[in-house]
Chains A and B, each alone.
Chain A
Amino acid sequence: AQSVTQLGSHVSVSEGALVLLRCNYSSSVPPYLFWYVQYPNQGLQLLLKYTSAATLVKGINGFEAEFKKSETSFHLTKPSAHMSDAAEYFCAVTPNQAGTALIFGKGTTLSVSS
């Protein structure tokens, strides 16, 4: 069965600092992996996705993530945090077969201080 673990339910950084949000997955088949962001009272916005092509994936708003099969990880990074990055971030996996059922991690709330 597939699963996603996000380490750290809450991460705090200063504006301009590196953002690192951790995601580890478990999958018996090659996974497709996603990062979504959710702002208060809104739906989920896709930041980036890994679909078995390049292992380093660049997304919107300066975010990127690297797929590491040996570590079963897909951590999200951004070199310099902005106040507007404060939100909740979700990592998700879907097995490499037909169907659109996303399995989400519990989420990480990112706080950015000035």
Chain B
Amino acid sequence: KAGVTQTPRYLIKTRGQQVTLSCSPISGHRSVSWYQQTPGQGLQFLFEYFSETQRNKGNFPGRFSGRQFSNSRSEMNVSTLELGDSALYLCASSIDRSRNYGYTFGSGTRLTVV
């Protein structure tokens, strides 16, 4: 059974550019969440998508956005990149919005902004 797949694994961007990260959840999982991990702030929730709709959002500026497709694959976009956006971005999938199943994480995309 394939796990959560995140692409690309590594990315280097220049300040001011925009970036799109992709997440393919486990087959049959319909909920996808995104997290940002940095040494200073730790793991922080970005947003959650279920049935192509954003259901929950963390405390991040509007430069961070996402979407989910009909096949449950999700993308997140960061516009006007800042140096502080350098982080490991993790995607997690779950069968549905119930917490009973737990969340399976991908290996992440490491974004470096220079």
Contacts and interface: CB of A to CB of B under 8 A. Distances in A.
B33 A101 contact: yes
Interface in A81-104: 90, 92, 94, 96, 98-104
Contact of A43 (B42, B48, B107): B107
Contacts of A46: 102-104
A100 B103 contact: yes
A34 B102 contact: yes
Contacts of B103: 34, 46, 100, 102
A100 B99 contact: yes
Contacts of B108: 42-43
A32 interface: yes
B111 to A, nearest CB: 14
Interface residues of A, number: 25
A42 B90 CA distance: 10
Interface string B38-58: 000011110010000001101
Ranked 5 nearest A-B pairs via Cβ: A43-B105, A104-B43, A44-B105, A32-B99, A43-B107
Interface of B is mostly: strand
Contacts of B92: 44, 100, 102
B66 interface: no
Given A99-B48, A99-B56, A43 B43 contact: no
A106 interface: yes
Contact of A99 (B6, B35, B97, B105): B97
Contacts of A51: 99-100
23 contacts: A43-B4, A43-B108, A44-B90, A44-B92, A44-B105, A46-B103, A46-B104, A90-B43, A92-B43, A94-B99, A98-B55, A99-B55, A100-B33, A100-B55, A100-B94, A100-B99, A100-B103, A101-B33, A101-B45, A101-B56, A102-B92, A102-B103, A106-B42
